[in-house]
Structure 1
């Protein structure tokens, strides 16, 4: 029972994170991209602060913990599912979590330290140029990695069967 619950929670965390990053890539980023520099930077500061909440961390960090745990639980129980789960975990941890921690978070921290109120239009434009394109590129990488991880899980459910009791 704990194996199935862990697999369910790992899948839900991965799919919820994939949905968040996908939605961001196809709606939030294009919408923010239409804003003037000061409004864009201010909105990104606000969003980056707001996302640091328990619900976000539940899915984002839940997948980091639950995918490897589920893989480990399937090692002797269902060796084929173990490999699918290991692949999903590696892709998620490297491509979603790793890119976020190594790339997006440092950019967010730099943006958060910017004093937008006293900045000149030239400063705002420069700050946006150093933030927006790199951040969006990294977001695209982590979005695709997260989608791939979710797709691996979906394929696992389609192409394998649970061997409990066999």
Structure 2
């Protein structure tokens, strides 16, 4: 196996892991959190947002952001494979990383600063409403983008290199 193919394999793994994380979160965590009371929901999201910032998460999330353009560059001049990887890079950089960095993260940071001790039921409900709806919309976008990016990487892997 060549270094380029090994690098593409690691890129595929990282992009698959992050797509799987966001997909599974959409299918299980969000519905589970949605069933919680306002106070429990807000506390759970604060906790999740703290613990997800770990090396395993960063390998797939930041790793994909670095590996995709490097894999794309390595496949410059290979025909369709290059274009699949370029599309995967753009979709991930804008739709997954960009949406997370400029959408979900600011919401997470605002939630982290909030102190709900002593908050009334109405205040908890209002804060949850301001957080949950936009956060879930943004999460859906980054989930679709990460899955699409992963599919584009798979298409690149399945596409023979043009030797022209």
| TM-score (ref. length: structure 2) | 0.95
CA distance in 2, matches of 1:81, 1:155: 8
Aligned residue number for residue 160 of structure 2: 161
Partner of 1:111: helix, strand, or coil? Answer: helix
Q: Please give the per-residue CA displacement for 1:2-60, whole angstroms capped at 9, x wherever unaligned.
A: 21122111111100000000000111000000000000000000000000000000000
Structure 1 distance, partners of 2:122, 2:104, is 23
**What 5-or-longer segments of structure 2 have no aligned partner?**
none
1:98 maps to which residue? 98
Question: Is contact 2:82–2:156 with CA below 8 Å preserved after alignment?
Answer: no
1:137 and 2:137 equivalent?
yes
Q: Secondary structure at the match of 2:116?
A: coil
Aligned counterparts, 1:1-166, within 5 A: 1-76=2-77, 78-158=78-158, 160-162=159-161
- Cα distance per residue 1:76-114 (max 9 Å; x no partner): 3x1321111000000001000000000000000000011
State the Cα RMSD in Å.
1.3
Query: In 1, are the aligned partners of 2:80 and 2:162 still within 8 Å (CA)?
Result: no
| Separation in 2, partners of 1:6, 1:105 | 29
Greater alpha carbon shift after TM alignment, 4-13 vs 44-53: 4-13
| Alignment partners' CA distance in 2, 1:129 and 1:104 | 15
Q: How many residues align?
A: 163
Q: What does the per-residue CA deviation read over 1:135-166, in whole Å, with 9 as the maximum and x for residues that have no partner?
A: 000000000000100111222233x11468x8
- Unpaired segments ≥5 residues, structure 1: none
When normalised by structure 1's length, the TM-score is 0.94
In the TM superposition, residue 120 of structure 1 has moved relative to its aligned partner by: 1.4
